[in-house]
């Protein structure tokens, strides 16, 4: 039994906005795998909740205008992983969300919840960040879209205005076409764990597979919110596909990331792992893109 003050169930996006306006103190609950846990531990005890769980229009993966991939915010991790569109265009996202918690958590956890909680360790977030995802927000003022990197404000805080909710995450065609990626979750267990560090890399190669046209890298837990490593990306852009590029790219992430010391992991350890993961994730991305890294 949860210490919930009141529960309002929304039947549609508009209904949710209305309920949020009527109950300005209310918090949104989607799958509940974070919110309910926080109520139980007392952090959100006594909360008023607007449940959006039953809004089926916010579920599913499809193509939007201009072949952007549209993922409804309430789509569960397991449904994302099973989506033919995801498997075809950005399999790495399916792989990343298949590393969240365990099977039951992946059935209840939603990609919207995973991003709206503003948590740096979210397994989907670094990959979305690395793929230049765009979030779609519905509020009393209408719809707005913003790049996911602008959505994150600080630890635990995202750019959600009063009575606004995230309805979808979009990956534009320009962001995925020709890109191949790899995500590595670094955790203490192979399942049921939270990332000590997450690294998502994707790469686009030239026609002849000899040159990196572009490489993008994003981290979870390398800072207060998921973040890109622009210095590393700059090194990789138009660089030759070779071991030196991979090494330089990986080393350069240290210019950008700033993990902290905590009981979950020491800063020096996270930095070491960040470099190693960048190396491995870029290598794998290049191989998936058809490139061959020399000696």
Partner 1 sequence: MYAGQRVRRVDAFDKVTGRTRYTDDLCDRGAYIARILHATVANGRVVSIDTSEAEKVPGVVRILTCFDLNEKHYFPTAGHPWSTDPSHQDVADRLILTDRVRFYGDDVAAVVAEDEVAAAQALKLIRVEYEAYPFVLDVQKAMEDGAPQLHEKYPNNILKHTQIRIGDYAKAIQEPGLTKVEGWYETPVVQHCHIENFICFAEAEGDKIKVVSSTQIPHIVRRIVGQALGVDWGKVRVIKPYVGGGFGNKQDILYEPLCAWLSLQVGGHLVKLDVPREETFVCNRTRHSIRNHIVSWVRPDGTYAARKLEAFSDQGAYASHGHSICAKGAGCFPQLYPCDNVEVDAYTVFTNKPVAGAMRGYGIPQAMWAVECHTEDVCAAIGADPVAFRRKNLMPVGYVDGFSKNELYYDSFNQCLDKAMAAIDYERKYKEYQSQTGDVRRGIGVAMFWYNTAVWPISLESSSCRMVLNQDGSFQLQLAETEIGQGADTAFAQMAADVVGVPLDKVHVVSCQDTDVTPFGTSAYASRQTYIAGFSIRQTGLLLKERILDYAHRLTRMPTFNLDIVDGNIVRTTDGRVLMSLAALAEEALYSLTDSQHISAESTYQIKSNAYSFGCTIAEVEVDIPLCKVKLLNIVNCHDAGTLINPALAEAQVHGGMSMGIGFGMSEKLLFDEKTGRPLNNNLLDYKLPTMLDHPRLVAEFVENPEPTSAFGTKSLGEPPACSPAPAIRNAIYHATGVGVKNAPANPHNLFRAFTEAGLIHDERQVPPCTT
Partner 2 sequence: MGKQYKLIHCTVNGRPREVMVDVRASLTDLLRNDFRLTSVKKGCEVGECGACNVIINGECFNSCIYLAVWADGKDILTLEGLEGPNGEISDIQQAFIDEAAVQCGFCTPGAIMSAVEILNEGRLLSDEEIRIRMSGHLCRCTGYENIFRAVKKTMLKRLGIHQEV
> Which one, 51 or 202, has the nearer CB to partner 2?
51
When asked if residue 23 is in the footprint of partner 2 (CB under 8 A), the reply is no
Q: Which residues pair with 62 in a beta bridge?
A: 70
Question: Do residues 101 and 124 lie in contact, with contact meaning Cβ atoms separated by under 8 Å?
Answer: no
> Which one, 6 or 157, has the nearer CB to partner 2?
6
Please work out, in degrees rounded to the nearest 5, the angle formed at the alpha carbon of residue 184 by the alpha carbons of 215 and 221: 90
> Which one, 45 or 146, has the nearer CB to partner 1?
45
Interface with partner 2 by CB under 8 A: which range of 165-173, 187-195, 198-206, 209-217?
187-195
Partner interacting with residue 209 (select from partner 2, partner 1, none; CB below 5-8 Å by kind): none
When asked if residue 275 is in the footprint of partner 1 (CB under 8 A), the reply is yes
Q: How far apart are CA 228 and CA 226, in angstroms?
A: 7
Residue keyed to tokens 């205005």? 161
When asked if residue 82 is in the footprint of partner 2 (CB under 8 A), the reply is no
When asked if residue 211 is in the footprint of partner 2 (CB under 8 A), the reply is no
Positions 93 through 132 that interact with partner 2 (CB under 8 A): 101-105, 107-108
When asked if residue 192 is in the footprint of partner 1 (CB under 8 A), the reply is yes
> Which one, 7 or 188, has the nearer CB to partner 2?
7
Q: How far apart are CA 79 and CA 278, in angstroms?
A: 28
Q: Which residues pair with 219 in a beta bridge?
A: 199, 227
Question: What residues contact residue 123 under an 8 Å CB cut-off, 6+ apart?
Answer: 96, 97, 99, 100, 114, 183, 185, 195, 198, 220
Among 78, 83, 114, 245, binds partner 2 (CB under 8 A): 78
**Per-residue three-class SS string for 53-69:** CCCHHHCCEEECHHHCE
Positions 204 through 233 that interact with partner 1 (CB under 8 A): 231
Partner interacting with residue 45 (select from partner 2, partner 1, none; CB below 5-8 Å by kind): partner 1
DSSP string, 233-287: HHHHTTEESSHHHHHHHHHHHHHH-----BTTB-HHHHHHHHHHHHHHHHHHHHH
Among 157, 174, 191, 292, binds partner 1 (CB under 8 A): 191
Among 24, 42, 190, 208, binds partner 2 (CB under 8 A): 190
Question: Which residues of the chain form contacts with partner 1 (CB under 8 A)?
Answer: 1-3, 41-42, 45-46, 102, 186, 188-194, 196, 231, 235, 239, 244-245, 247-248, 251-252, 254-255, 263-266, 268-269, 271-276
């Amino acid at each position: 039994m949860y210490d919930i003050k009141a529960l309002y169930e929304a039947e549609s996006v508009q209904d949710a906005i209305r309920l949020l306006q009527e109950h300005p103190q209310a918090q949104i609950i989607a799958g509940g795998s974070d919110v309910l846990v926080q109520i139980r531990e007392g952090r959100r005890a006594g909360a008023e909740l607007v449940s959006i769980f039953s809004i089926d229009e916010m579920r599913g993966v499809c193509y939007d205008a201009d072949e952007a991939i549209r993922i409804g915010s309430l789509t569960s991790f397991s449904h994302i992983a099973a989506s033919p569109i995801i498997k075809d265009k950005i399999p790495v996202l399916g792989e990343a969300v298949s590393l969240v918690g365990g099977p039951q958590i992946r059935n209840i956890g939603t990609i919207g919840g995973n991003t709206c909680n503003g948590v740096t360790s979210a397994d989907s977030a670094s990959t979305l960040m690395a793929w230049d995802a765009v979030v779609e927000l519905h509020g009393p003022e209408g719809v707005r879209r913003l790049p996911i990197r602008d959505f994150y404000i600080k630890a635990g805080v995202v750019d959600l205005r009063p009575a606004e909710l995230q309805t979808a995450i979009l990956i534009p065609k320009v962001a995925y076409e020709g890109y191949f990626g790899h995500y590595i979750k670094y955790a203490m267990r192979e399942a049921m764990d939270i990332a000590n560090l997450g690294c998502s890399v994707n790469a686009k190669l030239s026609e002849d597979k000899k040159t990196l046209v572009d490489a993008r890298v994003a981290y979870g837990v390398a800072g207060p919110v998921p973040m890109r490593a622009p210095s590393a990306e700059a090194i990789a852009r138009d660089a030759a596909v070779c071991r030196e590029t991979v090494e330089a790219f990986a080393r350069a992430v240290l210019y950008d990331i700033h993990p902290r010391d905590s009981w979950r992991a020491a800063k020096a350890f996270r930095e070491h792992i960040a470099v190693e993961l960048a190396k491995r994730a870029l290598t794998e991305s290049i191989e998936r893109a058809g490139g061959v890294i020399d000696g």
